Structure 1
Amino acid sequence: MDLALDRLTVVTDGRSLVRELSLDVPSGQVVGLVGPNGSGKSTALRCVYRALRPSSGAVRVGPDDLAGLSPRRSAQLVAALTQDGTVDLDFTVEEVVALGRAPHLRGAQALSPRERELCAQVLDRLGLTPLAGRGILGLSGGERQRVLVARALVQEPEILVLDEPTNHLDVRHQIELLSFLRGAGLTVLVVLHDLNLAAAACDRLAVLGEGRLVTAGTPAEVLTPELVQEVFGVRADVVTHPLTGDPQVLYALTTSSADRTAGPAPSTDRTAGPAPSLTP
């Protein structure tokens, strides 16, 4: 199912957080939202999973305006993993994951055999089966994050939106999760801060700056040294990953904001002369 943001605008306390953002997420593709802190990424996602009502514009799922759907129907179509996703009660892992079926059930209706099997399959796919009987409050941050991803997947949405889903995950689980998303066949809109993970995981990237869409395209089209300098304010080189062919961003560390507009970094060749003094 296609997802489209149509001239989406969000104004809060007189401040424009998102400004006429238009973005298409084709069915079955993974589209990443990237940009510096405060660029409007999470705000745009909140409109998609209806935690926030846009000031103007619309979110469309397939042919429908999301605002015209019932909350139950919206939850059947769109699942979300948010930055502040928490579980306050010490349910077991399998109980939390089963909550993903809530939009499809009525009242205290029990899970069907198919739904129980679905939960078991997702637990196994995310390596959570050994934790199924444990209380979620006793888990590490990374384990808890994987449980919340499993809950969203059990929801069987057409569209999945994720805000920094790799938070708290080690490198192995980051790669496994993003690889899974690439092969899940879902329409995915994901916020990622790591540009190299975004380049590897996403079919397309949309770059936001100050609430506006700066550019969108394939990772190779979007991730250029000029764009990284312009949007993120850092010097970088972009190379091709030797195994996957994806663009990879190599950053140059700087010591002050003035360095952001400076020329090439000083040579680190020890034959070039003594290093400059760090004392004033």
Structure 2
Amino acid sequence: MDVTLDDVTVEVAGTALVRRLNLAVGAGEVVGLVGPNGSGKSTALRCIYRALRPTTGTVLLDGSDISGLSLRDSARSVAAVTQDGSPELDFTVAEIVELGRYPHHRGGAALGERERDVCVEAMRRVDVTHLAHRGVLSLSGGERQRVLIARALAQEPAVLVLDEPTNHLDVRHQVELLSFLRTCGLTVVVALHDLNLAAAACDRLAVLREGAVVDDGPPSDVLTPDLVGRTFGVRPDIVRHPVTGVPQLVYHLGPDDPIPGGTHP
């Protein structure tokens, strides 16, 4: 299933958080949104999973306006893992993951065998099977993050939207998650701060600045010292990964001359 943001603008209290944003994500493609804090990444993602309605413009799924779908129907197609989605009630891990079946399941009946199998597989994918009977509030931040990813996978979506999914994850689980995204066959739109992880995981990167896309293309085309300097205010050296050949950024820690036009902390 493809996703298109067509001339999307979101205004809140008279301020444009994204402005005339255009982005097309093909079926099965993994596209990363990168950019400095406040560049509009999370706002763009919220429009896809319908937490926000664009002020102007349209979000399309396979060419159809998503606003024309019921919330249940859109949740059957689009699953999201947000930055602020940590559970507040102490359900077990298994119960949290089972909530992912809600868009497909009507009434108060127990889940069927197939639905339980879907949840078990989702937990296995993100290495939380051994936590199934633990209360979610007893878990570490990284463990909770993996539970939320399992819940999204249990929805069996065609489109997976992830907002900083590697937050709190240790190195092993970061690598396993991003490896899964590359091979899962879903349409994935993911916001990432780590440009090296973004380059390794994504087919394309869309660089956002001040609510607009300033560049869009394969990581090897997008991640240049000049663009990174203008967008993030630091100028890295770019090297190629010895196995995959994807660009990797090497930063210099210490005082540097300001980069004209760059975004500075």
TM-score normalized with structure 1 length: 0.91
Provide the secondary structure at the position in 2 that maps to 1:185.
coil
Q: Distance in 2 between matches of 1:230 and 1:58?
A: 29
**Shift in Å at residue 237 of structure 1?**
1.0
Q: Is residue 170 of structure 2 the alignment partner of residue 199 of structure 1?
A: no
Aligned twin of 2:252: 252
Q: Which has the larger radius of gyration?
A: 1
1:69-113 CA distance string (max 9 Å, x none): 100101001000000012111111011000000000112132110
Is the counterpart of residue 154 in structure 1 residue 154 in structure 2? yes
Measure the CA separation in 2 of the matches of 1:234 and 1:252. 9
User: Aligned partners of 2:53, 2:121: CA distance in 1, in Å?
Assistant: 35
| Distance in 2 of aligned mates of 1:41 and 1:153 | 22
SS of the equivalent of 1:215 reads: strand
Shift in Å at residue 244 of structure 1? 1.3
Give how far 1:47 is off: 0.6
Q: How does 1:253-272 map to 2 (within 5 A)?
A: 253-255=253-255, 259-261=257-259
Q: In structure 2, give the amino acid aligned to 1:260.
A: P
**Counterparts of 1:122 and 1:46 in 2: how far apart (Å)?**
23
Report SS of the residue matched to 2:7: strand
C-alpha distance in structure 2 between counterparts of 1:260 and 1:151, whole Å: 44
* Contact kept? 1:204, 1:216, Cα under 8 Å: yes
**Structure 1 segment 1-280 matched on structure 2, within 5 A:** 1-255=1-255, 259-261=257-259
Report the secondary structure of 2:87's partner residue.
coil
Per-residue CA deviation, residues 117-175 of structure 1 (Å, 9 max, x unaligned), is 11111212211111111000000000000000000000000100000000000011000
Contact 2:230 2:259 in 1 (8 A): no
Q: Cα deviations across residues 241-260 of structure 1 (Å, max 9, x unaligned)?
A: 1121110011122436xx22
Amino acid of the structure 2 residue aligned with 1:207: V
- 8 Å contact kept, 1:47–1:53: yes
Q: What secondary structure sits across from 1:179 in the alignment?
A: helix
Q: Is the 8 A contact 2:33 2:192 kept in 1?
A: yes
Secondary structure of the equivalent of 1:260?
coil
Paired with 1:203 and 1:47, the residues of 2 have a C-alpha distance of 21
Counterpart AA for 2:44: A
Question: Is the 2:4–2:63 Cα contact (8 Å) retained in structure 1?
Answer: no
* 8 Å Cα contact 1:178/1:201 also seen in 2: yes
- Is the contact made by 2:199 and 2:248 (CA closer than 8 Å) also made in structure 1? yes
* Deviation per residue, 1:10-53 (Å, 9 max, x gap): 11111111010000100001000000000000001011111111
* SS of corresponding position for 1:244: coil
CA distance in 2, matches of 1:60, 1:261: 38
Q: Match for residue 263 of structure 2?
A: none
With the length of structure 2 as denominator, give the TM-score of the two structures: 0.96
RMSD (Å), alpha carbons: 1.0
Distance in 2, matches of 1:220 and 1:65, equals 32
SS at match of 1:133: coil
Aligned residues: 260
Paired residue secondary structure (2:156): coil
